[in-house]
Structure formats: structure tokens, C-alpha cells
Chain A
Amino acid sequence: MADFQIEDLRVSVEGREILKGISLGIDKGEVHAVMGPNGSGKSTLSHTLMGHPNYKVLGGRVLFKDRNLLEMPTEQRARLGVFLALQYPVVVPGITMSNFLRTALNAKRGYDGKDKSKAIAPKEFRALLKSEMGVLHMDDSFLSRYVNEGFSGGEKKRAEILQMAVLKPEIAILDETDSGLDIDSIKFVSEGVNRMRGPELGILLITHYTRILEFVRPDFVHVLVDGQFVLSGGPEVAAALEKTGYAEWVKEPQAAAQEA
């Protein structure tokens, strides 16, 4: 049994079955890439693992630290050590990045507004942010801005990685973190991710393109088509996909359903 074990996961969205029995084991220290064309169920997988209310679990289990993640509310999954970097980070007006990050970090530290000793000290918090933001090439002005408001595509993705760096998850799901980014942003984001790689972190990297895999080298690659894994293997799978695309499994990728 792997540290993070997905077993026969079946999920529907608005009454339509999208994931049709997914199994995948991730050990800490590993990077698993899940690749697939539009509509294959990539976002459904990432959102279901985090407990988004629009996704209905039809069957299966996700075991992490002897718990079934699927029975827990989103906030508890996060505090248990699971992190999702969203493909489309949400703009939240009225809440500053700094407030957002501090509240999230304090929640992870078990601070509930009462025992001040559990809250992070302002000085320590500032030092933590300064070093992480340096790696991601983000300046201080980010902290006083509202969450993702007015951020460019690249800034939003970097802000996601910053949150990951601050919260230090054990399992990180990166949902198309590379999509819509220029090459510089992909490099900054990859640097941020690579810095966190190590024996304490397992990564599920979901992507449409092979480009980010040049910077964040995966240990395993799984190809998701129509809600099922059609091929799993090592980095060589990505290299093959680079040449052939998804044509082997999808006849007309242009006509594929919208990303679910």
C-alpha cells in the first residue's frame, strides 16, 4: 500500500460518469504525472481528491494516513497534508494574500483564535514569505493585494506555488499548473516545485502538455483517457506522447468534450 492510495475511484458530474475506476498509488518522494486530452477527467480527479462539492463520488476510496479522504470535509483534507494547486485560481476580493496565507498557515498549526502560542509569530511569517517569494520571483506588493485580483496568469500560478511552499503539504496535486504560461513562468514555477521535492513530498502533476515535464521530471507517467488510465509507465511514456500525441486513443481530439 502506497502512502497515498487511490482505489477504483468513480465520479460523476451533473449525472454523467466522468471517472470510471481510477487506481493509483503515490509514495512520498515520488512525482507522478497524469496526462490526458481535454475531457479525459483530469480536473475531475484533482477536484474530487480535494472534495469540491460539484463532484459526486460513486465508488472507491482514497487512503492517506489510515483515513479515507473521501469521507472528510475539504478543510480537514488540507490540514491532513493534501494540497491542490488549481488550474484556475479563484479571485477573492476583499481578502489580502497576506491575511489568506497567515490564516491558512495558522489553521494548519492548530490555531483556532484562542491559544496564541500556536499562531505563527509575525517576524517568522515575514521571513518565511520573503525567502519563498524570492524563489518565485514575486515582490512584496503581492501580499497587500487581494487574493488573485488583477494577477496575470503567471502570477496566479506562482501564487499557488507560494501557498504550497508556505503550507508544506505531504501530497501536492498540481492541476495544469503549466497551462497558459510563458516559458519564464513555467521555469519559475518549476523551480519552486523542484525546491520542495524530497522524501517528505509526493506530487501528482496533472498536465495536458509534456513541456513542464522537461523541468519537473516525473518518476511515473499515467495516461488518462475517457475516465480510465490507458497506459502507465516511466518517463519514457511522456517522451512517446511528445511524438504521437493522444491520437492512438482519441480519434478527433478537436471534437473532444469540454474539459470536465
Chain B
Amino acid sequence: MGFTRDAVERLSALRDEPAWLKSRRLESFGVYERTPMPDTRRDADWRQVDLKGLDLESFEPFQQPDGAAPAPSIPESLGVLAQRGTGAATAASSAAELERRGVVFCPLWEAAVRHPELVERYLFSALRPDRDKFSALHSAFFSGGTFLYVPDGVSLERPLVGQFWSAGTGGSTLPHTLIVAGKGSRFEYLDEFLDDGAAVSYVALHRWGEQAWQFAGQRVRLNRDAQFQGVNVGLGGRFARLRMEALLEGEGSSARLRGLFFGTGRQSFDFRTLQDHLAPHTTSDLLYKGALRDLARSVYVGVVRVEKNARGTSANQANRNLLLSEKARAASEPILEIENNDILRCSHGATVGPVDPEHLFYLTSRGIPEPVAERMLVQGFLSEVLDQIPVAYARQVVEEELARRIG
């Protein structure tokens, strides 16, 4: 048990990985060994996070394929599936179509062998292994995951999907999604996690079981005029931490970031976002909305950074939290770091509170029973983000899950 050097070697041998990948894993493992657990009192990046009860030694370092799927496969008409669990799952007809257009869409381990020129160059170029202990662990032990390359100018009509799940209590699941979008390409990608200049739309659906600990990181680097739309949906996990970082490196690039979460029981969410404006005339627009019931809690820390030469920046950041019980808690901390005053617009806002009593009065004054009115208001509150989920299949899954949680 536990994450050891020997386990890294076994994992790498399992897929007969190329030497460069194995040595990167071992290098990352060295970082993992040297790096202490985050100091949740002193390290600003981990403030308010409760890691008590997390014992890394108790986890299986990786899973043997494949375990029964906790959810049905999505219909071919709704999306092209690359991977289910740790196995490849692209239907032959779709695979041929993608190949014809030069798209690479396959499990990451397979891409590492077949397309080393792409994978070796980009893997962990955005998400650095030395960021913290969990990043190092991920780089050393990632298994499963998807590689997607869409060449210049290629538009894909159907969304591409990866589905991942854990084999149950005690397992660890460390899938890594690497997407390389060519200039002028356009597509939608959905990562679904279960338990029980390009225009890219990315949706991550986090639906882990209630005992799961999640430490997820997303980082997108945008070149000139690239557009990114990312939606994160948090519904599962005992503790779910998600870092979403958009680096606007190219002039005219834009990112639209959306988050949606609903916590029940003792669930705890931890969102850290970064809108990093590094080039002129870049745009970012972030909205994270969530509702918490029972003893659930959430922490949101969002940074908007406008670097020196990022003149003409337009940045918007909002985090809205709805508390549906007296013991639910939400903390929200917006941070602005502005080094260029020649900006177009920069706004931020945070709210934490119960359902607005004026709204409730208005609906009940029309004869709508209070519990129904509250449900409508919660749905209405979340629909602003729900309606913007770009992948129809994902929107439907989230809608059903929310309906179940709202009651």
C-alpha cells in the first residue's frame, strides 16, 4: 500500500511506457518525497482547507483495469467517447472519422507511445509537478486519462467525452487530460468523473462518491485570439478541491469560466481560480455559483491578475453562494492584483446568504407553497450556470442530479 518508488516502476512497466515518461514519473516522485503536506495554516493557497482524516498511505497507488462502470456509457449520438475507466472506448466509426481529420483522441498512455512528439512536448507543461505535494503525486502516478489533439482549423460537431471512476474505497484515481487545440479549431470536451484561437468548450463533471477526496487541477494556456469556455460542476466527494487557472498569454484571447456546485451532508468544496491576464486586450469572465445544505461547506478563493503589459483587459469575477440550512457555511475571497491601470473593465463580487426572503414572499403571495417556492428559487439560482453548460449530455446529467438534491 501507499505511494512508493517501487509502485511507480510497476505502474510504468504495466503499460510498457517509453523511457522518457518513466523518468519523468520518477523525477516527480522525487519531488513528492521531498515536499511536505501543505501547511493549511500558513500557506495562503491552502488556507481554510481541512485535510484531517486524509491518510495518503492508505490508498492503493493505482488501479488495475477495469472494474464495473458505475454509469451507462453515453449514446454515440450525444458524444464521442475516448475512454471508459482506463480502457479505450472509441467506436470504430467515430475513430475512423476522427483519424481522417487528423484528430488524435485516445488514452494518454497510448498517445505517449504513438505520438511522443506531441505528448512529450506538452505533458505537464501547463501543470507543473513541483507546485505542491498533490501535483507531484499526480505527475508520478497519473494513470488513465485522455489525450486530445485537434489540428489547425478543424471543427468537431459532437462533443468528445472521457469517463473515469474509482474502483471503490481505498483506491486512487489519477486521470490526466491533456488537450492540445490547433489554431482555429473548435470543439467541446467533457470529462466525467464518477463513482458510484481555438474555440474550446470544456466541461468537467465531478460526481465522486461521498467518501472520496479529490484534488483536481486545470490549467489552460490561451494563445492569440483563442477562446476557452470551461464549466466545472461539483456534486460529489467528501472533500473536493479544484484549481482552475486560465492563462491569457495571447493578445485578444478570452476565457469564460463557470462553476456550479451543490453540497449536501458533510461535503466540502474548495475552489481556487486564477484569471491571469498576460497580454493586451484579453477578456475573462468568471461566475461560480453554488448551493449548500445540511453541514456542507465551501471555500472560494479567486485571483484576477492583470500583468504590466496587459492593457485593455476586461475581467469579471463573481462567486454567489446560497445557504439552504443554518449550519451550511460558505467563505468567499476575491483577490485583485492589478499592475496595469489601462484596463477596460475589472469587476468582482461575492455573495453568501439564504434564499432572498423578498423572493420567497413574492412567490408565496401567489399561492405557491413555500417548499415549492424555495425549490424554484434554488433551481432558478443555479440555472444561470446550468443553462450555459455547452454539452447537452452533461447538462442533462447535471439537471437530473440537481433535481434529486434540491428535493
Contacts and interface: CB of A to CB of B under 8 A. Distances in A.
The answer to whether A and B interact is yes
Interface of A: 50-53, 73-75, 77-79, 83-84, 86, 89-90, 92-95, 99-100, 103-104, 107-108, 112-113, 146-147, 163, 167
Given A75-B368, A99-B376, 14 more contacts: A53-B361, A74-B365, A75-B364, A78-B364, A94-B382, A94-B383, A100-B363, A100-B376, A103-B368, A107-B367, A113-B372, A146-B380, A147-B362, A167-B366
B357 A53 contact: yes
Interface size class of B (residues with CB under 8 A): 20 to 34
A132 to B, nearest CB: 15
B379 interface: yes
Contact of B362 (A51, A73, A90, A107): A90
Interface string B368-382: 111011001101111
Nearest to A78: B367
B361 A74 contact: yes
A78 B380 contact: no
Contacts of B357: 53
A100 B377 CA distance: 11
Nearest to A95: B380
Nearest to B380: A94
Contact of A94 (B358, B366, B379): B379
A93 B359 CA distance: 10
B369 A93 contact: no
A86 B362 contact: yes
Interface string B90-113: 000000000000000000000000
Identify whether the interface residues of B are mostly helix, strand, loop, or mixed. helix
| Residue of A74, A113, A147, A163 with most chain B CB atoms under a 10 A cut-off | A74
Q: Lowest 6 CB-CB distances: which A-B pairs, in order? A: A94-B380, A78-B367, A104-B366, A75-B364, A95-B380, A74-B364
B385 to A, nearest CB: 10
A92 B380 contact: yes
Contacts of A112: 369
A104 B368 contact: yes
Contacts of B359: 90, 92
14 contacts: A50-B365, A51-B365, A52-B361, A53-B361, A74-B364, A75-B368, A84-B365, A86-B365, A94-B379, A95-B379, A95-B380, A100-B363, A107-B368, A146-B380
B380 A93 contact: yes
A104 B365 CA distance: 9
Nearest to B371: A75
B39 interface: no
A79 B376 contact: no
Contacts of A78: 364-367
Contact of B367 (A75, A86, A92, A99): A75
A52 B369 CA distance: 15
B367 A79 contact: yes
Interface string B344-369: 00000000000001110111111111
Interface of B: 357-359, 361-370, 372-373, 376-377, 379-384
B367 A94 contact: no
Nearest to B382: A94
B389 to A, nearest CB: 15
B370 A73 contact: yes
B305 to A, nearest CB: 29
Contacts of B361: 50, 52-53, 74, 90
Contacts of B367: 75, 78-79, 104, 107-108, 167
Contacts of A146: 380
A84 B380 CA distance: 23
A104 to B, nearest CB: 4
Contacts of B382: 94
A110 to B, nearest CB: 10
B216 to A, nearest CB: 27
A77 B376 CA distance: 20
B288 to A, nearest CB: 16
B366 A100 contact: yes
A25 to B, nearest CB: 23
A92 B362 contact: yes
A113 B407 CA distance: 13
B155 to A, nearest CB: 30
Nearest to A84: B365
Nearest to B387: A94
A10 to B, nearest CB: 21
Contacts of B384: 93-94
B115 to A, nearest CB: 44
B369 A107 contact: yes
B391 to A, nearest CB: 21
A219 B362 CA distance: 29
Contacts of A79: 367
A204 B383 CA distance: 37
A121 B297 CA distance: 41
A92 B362 CA distance: 9
A52 B366 CA distance: 12
B369 A75 contact: yes
A112 B367 CA distance: 12
A142 to B, nearest CB: 16
A163 B358 CA distance: 17
A107 B357 CA distance: 20
A53 B379 CA distance: 23
A50 B363 CA distance: 12
A53 B360 CA distance: 10
B365 A95 contact: no
Nearest to B362: A90
Contacts of A163: 366
B370 to A, nearest CB: 6
A75 B376 contact: no
B370 A92 contact: no
Contacts of A52: 361
A167 B357 CA distance: 22
A84 B362 CA distance: 9
B287 to A, nearest CB: 12
Contacts of B372: 103, 107, 113
B203 to A, nearest CB: 20
